[in-house]
């Protein structure tokens, strides 16, 4: 199946979906979350500072009156993570945990928590940002391991009922974006079509970024940097007006938040292109409904209308991927597929369930790059346009 670059595809199915989304977008439906879930807000600096002040005032008051202060925060344990079927999101329930200052078992945890709170306050007051790693290095002896400071950062976000970005603790930059998009960063307009052979690195300070204009008709999220490079080199986004974005694996907070904003503001169809393996499906699921660890941020991070464009297990035969480009699954892969098949959101999606069952039956996986066996440009010239034209997605 050789690549024929002269073939023309009208992307009919994608355009039909775009029409539908633009119409829905005009109606601006407000999302209602279930009553048994907590409400998390994206706060401006001023309001986050107010929440910290209120929290500390209450603590001081309790210290003066009873001498036995404690902090209450929503539990982030598995039993408190709820799948909201209507909005297709993983959300945090209303279970509360209490951390006591006077208990020997929690004194270290509380001290760490207060240290992180102090650092967040400092960042907000000076309108500065820090990465999780930097927070760890503000008190190495106290935190001992970055896992501890990371956990405290998440505790504080939930304690303040806000997202991590509102605390000015940001992820290390990892994502890249290119295509038919113009954004504002401060007083500059960045044109993502005019950045040479490279990409725009998705900023972790997203509150300083705004979408100015786009003439894209869909967004393609790509798992692999190599596939992104190939499509960019080919100027795929120019031939098929689109925005390409990659996070080199599971999308970090900045990439997922940026994608969410693109999808919400532009009302464009969003597709994911991942490896045909359980990890690829997992990456898609994280973009789709959020991760369990950051379930409290799901409404700000998840893109519930993202479609799994490929690479599906059934595509391996349909696009005649040679046997030597297919890899046998190991026991971990099989376990992961079985775990995914047990997820409620997979069971609800029959096409997804069928493809995972097929993978389980065949016990094979393949990378996006497997298409190279038909030529370097097969992905851009044949596979993607065919799928986007016929609507062959999950």
Partner 1 sequence: MKIFYKNNKNIDGGIVQLIDKEKMMDWSPEIPIVIIENYRKDHLSRFTNNKLRSEINKHLDELIKDVAIPLMAKGLETENSEERLTLLTRLEEITRKKTEMAKPIIPYLEKLLKDENEKIKKLAQKALNNFEKAKKKKQLEQMRKKMEQLEKDWLEEKVSNEEYASERKKLLKLQAEIGD
Sequence-separated (6 or more) residues with CB below 8 Å from residue 353: 341, 346, 347
- Under rule CB under 8 A, residue 265 binds partner 1: yes
Task: Give catalytic status of residue 137 as yes or no.
Answer: yes
Task: Report how far residue 220's alpha carbon sits from residue 385's, in angstroms, rounded to the nearest whole number.
Answer: 12
Task: Report how far residue 45's alpha carbon sits from residue 273's, in angstroms, rounded to the nearest whole number.
Answer: 36
CB nearer to partner 1: pick between 241 and 391: 241
- Under rule CB under 8 A, residue 330 binds partner 1: no
Choose the stretch contacting partner 1; rule: CB under 8 A; options: 17-25, 63-71, 306-314, 335-343: 17-25
- Whole-number minimum distance, CB 188 to partner 1, in Å? 8
Using CA atoms, how far residue 284 sits from 276, 312, 316, in Å, is 11, 12, 18
- Under rule CB under 8 A, residue 122 binds partner 1: no
Using CA atoms, how far residue 104 sits from 107, 149, 150, 215, in Å, is 5, 19, 22, 59
Tokens encoding 182: 């113009």
Q: Which listed residue (137, 199, 240, 296) is catalytic?
A: 137
- Under rule CB under 8 A, residue 8 binds partner 1: no
Strands (E), 14-129: 70-74, 81-84, 89-92, 96-100
Residues 163-182 that bind partner 1 (CB under 8 A): 182
Tokens encoding 114: 């207060």
Say whether the peptide bond before residue 260 is cis (omega within 30 degrees of 0).
no
- Under rule CB under 8 A, residue 239 binds partner 1: no
Task: Report how far residue 40's alpha carbon sits from residue 158's, in angstroms, rounded to the nearest whole number.
Answer: 8
- Across-strand partners of 71? 99
Neighbours of 203 (CB within 10 A): 18
Choose the stretch contacting partner 1; rule: CB under 8 A; options: 157-165, 208-216, 281-289, 346-354: 208-216
- Whole-number minimum distance, CB 386 to partner 1, in Å? 19
- Under rule CB under 8 A, residue 211 binds partner 1: yes
3-state SS assignment for residue 203: coil
- Whole-number minimum distance, CB 27 to partner 1, in Å? 14
Tell me, by CB under 8 A, how many residues bind partner 1.
23
- Return the DSSP state at 31: P
The interface mask with partner 1, positions 21-60, x = CB under 8 A, is -x--------------------------------------
Residues 240-259 that bind partner 1 (CB under 8 A): 241
**Residues at the site binding partner 1, with contacts judged by CB under 8 A:** 10, 15, 18-19, 22, 182, 184, 186-189, 191, 210-215, 217, 241, 265-267
Positions annotated as catalytic residues are 137
């Amino acid at each position: 199946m050789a690549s024929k670059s002269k073939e023309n595809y009208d992307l009919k199915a994608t355009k039909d979906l775009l029409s539908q989304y633009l119409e829905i977008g005009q109606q601006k439906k407000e999302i209602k979350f279930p009553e048994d879930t907590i409400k998390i807000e994206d706060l401006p600096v001023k309001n986050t500072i107010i929440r910290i002040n209120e929290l500390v005032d209450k603590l001081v008051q309790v210290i003066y009156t009873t001498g036995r202060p404690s902090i209450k925060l929503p539990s982030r344990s598995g039993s408190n993570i709820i799948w909201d079927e209507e909005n297709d999101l993983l959300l945090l329930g209303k279970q509360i945990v209490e951390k006591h200052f006077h208990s020997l078992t929690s004194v270290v945890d509380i001290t760490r928590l207060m240290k992180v709170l102090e650092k967040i306050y400092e960042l907000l007051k000076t309108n500065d940002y820090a990465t999780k790693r930097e927070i760890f290095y503000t008190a190495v002896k106290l935190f001992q391991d970055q896992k501890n400071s990371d956990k405290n950062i998440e505790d504080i976000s939930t304690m303040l009922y806000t997202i991590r970005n509102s605390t000015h603790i940001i992820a290390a930059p990892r994502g890249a974006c290119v295509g038919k998009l113009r954004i504002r960063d401060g007083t500059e307009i960045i044109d993502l079509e005019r950045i040479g052979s490279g990409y725009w690195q998705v900023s972790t300070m997203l509150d300083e970024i705004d979408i100015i204009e786009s003439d894209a008709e869909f967004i393609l999220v790509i798992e692999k940097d190599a596939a992104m490079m190939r499509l960019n080199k080919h100027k795929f986004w120019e031939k098929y007006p689109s925005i390409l974005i990659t996070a080199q694996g599971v999308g970090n907070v900045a990439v997922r938040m940026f994608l969410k904003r693109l999808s919400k503001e532009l009302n464009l169809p969003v597709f994911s292109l991942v490896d045909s393996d359980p990890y690829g499906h997992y990456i898609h699921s994280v973009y789709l409904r959020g991760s369990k660890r950051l379930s409290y941020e799901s409404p700000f991070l998840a893109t519930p209308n993202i479609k799994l464009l490929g690479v599906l297990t059934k595509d391996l035969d349909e696009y005649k991927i040679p046997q030597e480009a297919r890899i046998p699954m190991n026991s971990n892969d099989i376990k992961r597929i079985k775990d995914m098949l047990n997820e409620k959101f997979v069971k609800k999606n029959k096409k997804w369930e069928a493809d995972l069952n097929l993978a389980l039956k065949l016990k094979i996986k393949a990378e996006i790059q497997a298409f190279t066996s038909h030529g370097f440009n097969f992905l851009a010239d044949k596979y993607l346009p065919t799928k986007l034209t016929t609507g062959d997605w999950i």
